[in-house]
Copies of this chain bind each other. A is one copy, B any other.
Amino acid sequence: MTDRDIPDIVVGRLPRYLQALEHLQLSGAQTTSSQELGEIVGVSAAQIRKDLSQYGEFGKQGKGYSVSYLVHQLQQILKVDRVWPMALVGAGNLGHAIANYPGFGQHGFRITLIFDNDPVHIGTRIGPLTVQDSARLVPVLREKKIKIAMLTVPVRAAQSVADQLVEAGVRAILNYASITLSVPDHVHVQYIDPIIYLQRMTYYLD
């Protein structure tokens, strides 16, 4: 079975398994079980066993999983066993907050370029980086071979920036703008939308 045959919904659960395993690792756990993982992630033990079995045999019957081994395997499967340089487009409040978020570096993601089209922001520094003019987006991203970009521009600018990212060869866009982007099939888009998370919780309120 090639990667392409595995449903996206299964792939979508793998980062959550990895996150749970990394928490277990930080807490000093050596081994875990599909039951324990399932309780952390909120998925059935059977589902976890089925999802992982798509990629190989990671545990021993009755012995559970080695936490560090499974972390390593999932990092390889998710291709986060390397450092990914990223571009950030949009140097407003949200862009600043994201640029200063230490979690990216801790997980192999490194923001190496920041762009904005506002003269107020262009040339200013955010940490070690200088905000560059969005007009240079396409040639700079091409030259640096950037494959991942984060979009923190206003809704009205999001689609045109996304078009430029596609033109520049970007293959994955993390979109914070609350708008559905139209991109070619070979480009992946994920949406960070707090509404979705809030609605998951109001369901349980009275």
Task: Mark A residues whose CB is within 8 Å of B.
Answer: 3, 8-9, 11-12, 14-16, 18-19, 23, 42-43, 77-80, 84, 92-94, 96-98, 100-104, 107, 109, 147-148, 150, 171-172, 174, 178, 180, 188, 190-205
A78 touches B14 (CB 8 A): no
User: Copy number of this protein in the oligomer?
Assistant: 2
Q: Known contacts A19-B196, A171-B205; can you find 8 more A-B pairs with CB under 8 A? A: A9-B42, A14-B200, A23-B180, A101-B194, A102-B178, A171-B201, A174-B194, A174-B197
12 contacts between A and B (CB under 8 A): A15-B196, A77-B203, A79-B202, A79-B205, A101-B178, A103-B193, A148-B198, A148-B201, A171-B205, A174-B197, A174-B198, A190-B198
Residues of B within 8 A of A148 (CB): 198, 201-202, 205
Q: Quote the shortest CB–CB distance from A25 to chain B (angstroms).
A: 13
B192 touches A107 (CB 8 A): no
